[in-house]
Structure 1
Amino acid sequence: MRIAVCQINSRDDQTANLSTARGLLSEAAAGGADLAVLPEYVDYLGTAERLPPPEPVDGTVGSFFADAARELGIWVVVGSFHERGPDPAHTYNTCLVFDRRGELAASYRKIHLYDVEIPGRVSYRESSNVAPGTDPVVVDCDGVRLGLSICYDLRFPELYRRLAVDGDAQVLVVPAAFMVHTGRDHWEVLLRARAIENQCYVLAAGQIGQHEPARTCFGRSMVVDPWGTVLAQAPDTTGVVLADLDLHRLATIRAELPSLANRRL
């Protein structure tokens, strides 16, 4: 299976964001990708005041990417978008997966929300306007099992163990908008750790560059193999990185180093 991770600088113009994302998906398809992964909040990253009204899964954003998947004949992981939430004050941070026909194959609502309070330095509470999801999700993609996650989920290894063990995931998908100050030290380390400990490929598609209000995303979208080797990494710009997944290699690694089979807890 050939995959593409797409790196984008989403801003506070949803129409422009979707247009850029569509161009990256076309580039991925032209490169022979069977599956393309977009970053977290590909639809909008900006101030709350300019955020378009959140939509259901089959709204404008969902329909846009369903059409793209069908027209290009590829699987599309919409890293996440602002889904209409359980009440007017909260949205869901939701990942969508569309198959080659443009049919919705799976949706996943981000479980772990980024709440941090460091007096005098950082005050950010994602839970103030986002409601958490509750259920891990694995989806079959042309016979390959994809485990879904979003950004801050990456710091919670128990989620990925459930995806790999209970869901039989072979590939872990991590769309993100990782901040620069944490990304430069933790992004690659955590991605490689999740790949090694679960003996899965990891597909990490990140936001890049400046976003309002006053945030900078790290980028460095990458593909990691089940041994923890980085197969491909994006430069610090908008673009697409392609890689081929070797499921025979995955099976060999799991057979020769059977850590999943040997677990006792």
Structure 2
Amino acid sequence: MAASSIRVGAVQMTSTNDIEANFNTCSRLVKEASIAGVKLLCFPEAFSFELPRCDFLFYFRFYYFRFADFDPLTLIASVGFKEKGPDDKHLYNSHVLVDDTGNIKSLYRKIHLLYRNMVYEESNFTTPGHDIVVVDSPVGRLGLTVCYDLRFPKLYQPLWLQHDAQVLFVPVAFTRVTGEAHWEILLRARAIETQCYVVAAAQAGKYNEKRESYDRLSTGIAIVDIDLSNIASVRTRMPISEIKGSPCEKQRSN
């Protein structure tokens, strides 16, 4: 790994209704990531799966401090989590960034909810968020999104143009059919049009009788070394946000 590179990891796992089993998988993967020198680890959407409707901070801290049983924990964790919503019938589908001391650094609530789907309509039990989130981290300026957001380029443009995101984190649980057809293509499109690194952590396989996610890899961690100087180089050589009269130029000026 070059001196200017930072190591990040994306988890793929199959979460189930067995919370303890999910924890054991997460704990093993966190340890593997730490040993491998990963500084920021991204878990999938709903990594703990269907928790009771309760205070999500309680459960997250339960998970985090169980992770912290081994020393040292130098990771920053990025996870998709079901957060208690505005009423008893709704949750927030949240993306949480936690620093290496266990404190929540930032929280993004999924804006675009899956609907008109043969399996379920997310809006039946989830309340959408409204605010985009970009936060500083040891691996640069992070733009936080979740799964179905990936289909909406207009969400990603402000992350880059107005908030100077360098890395986009996307915890996902794509369905098997749409994942096979669209997941990698959408990730590459968002990376190309924003000139950002994209790190996506995915659910994989069948985790109950009704739901199945696109299964590209087995449970494990994809690890990559990123160099933020590459982003500056690409943006200098191909300054697509500075073309006179372009929508990008107008958006950046706003």
TM-score, normalised to structure 2, is 0.89
Partner of 1:25: 30
Deviation string, structure 1 residues 90-133 (Cα, Å, up to 9, x no partner):
0111111111122111011111000115xxxx252100001111
Deviation (angstroms), 1:218: 1.1
Equivalent residues in 2 for 1:192-203, closer than 5 Å: 192-203=188-199
- Paired residues in the alignment total 239
Deviation (angstroms), 1:66: 5.5
Q: 1:178 to 1:18 in 2, by over 3 A?
A: same
**Are 2:162 and 1:166 aligned?**
yes
TM-score, normalised to structure 1, is 0.85
Deviation (angstroms), 1:65: 2.2
Q: 1:63 to 1:97 in 2, by over 3 A?
A: farther
The residue type equivalent to 1:200 in the other structure is C
Q: Please tell me whether the aligned partners of residues 68 and 102 of structure 1 are also in contact (alpha carbons under 8 angstroms).
A: no
Percentage of pairs with the same residue: 41
**Are 2:238 and 1:257 aligned?**
yes
Structure having the higher strand fraction is 1
Give unpaired runs (5+ residues) of structure 2: 1-5
Partner of 1:204: 200
The residue type equivalent to 1:41 in the other structure is A
Give unpaired runs (5+ residues) of structure 1: 45-50, 221-235
Deviation (angstroms), 1:67: 5.6
Q: 1:113 to 1:258 in 2, by over 3 A?
A: same
Higher relative contact order (CA 8 A, sep 6+): 2
Deviation string, structure 1 residues 124-150 (Cα, Å, up to 9, x no partner):
210000111111111111261000000
Q: Please tell me whether the aligned partners of residues 138 and 148 of structure 1 are also in contact (alpha carbons under 8 angstroms).
A: yes
Partner of 2:3: none
Q: 1:16 to 1:116 in 2, by over 3 A?
A: same
The residue type equivalent to 1:31 in the other structure is A
Deviation larger for 253-262 or 53-62:
53-62
Work out the CA distance in 2 between the residues paired with 1:260 and 1:65. 39
Equivalent residues in 2 for 1:1-265, closer than 5 Å: 1-44=6-49, 51-65=50-64, 68=67, 71-78=72-79, 80-116=80-116, 122=118, 124-142=120-138, 144-220=140-216, 236-262=217-243, 263-265=248-250
Deviation (angstroms), 1:4: 0.5
Work out the CA distance in 1 between the residues paired with 2:162 and 2:65. 28
Deviation string, structure 1 residues 170-203 (Cα, Å, up to 9, x no partner):
0001100011101111111100000000000000
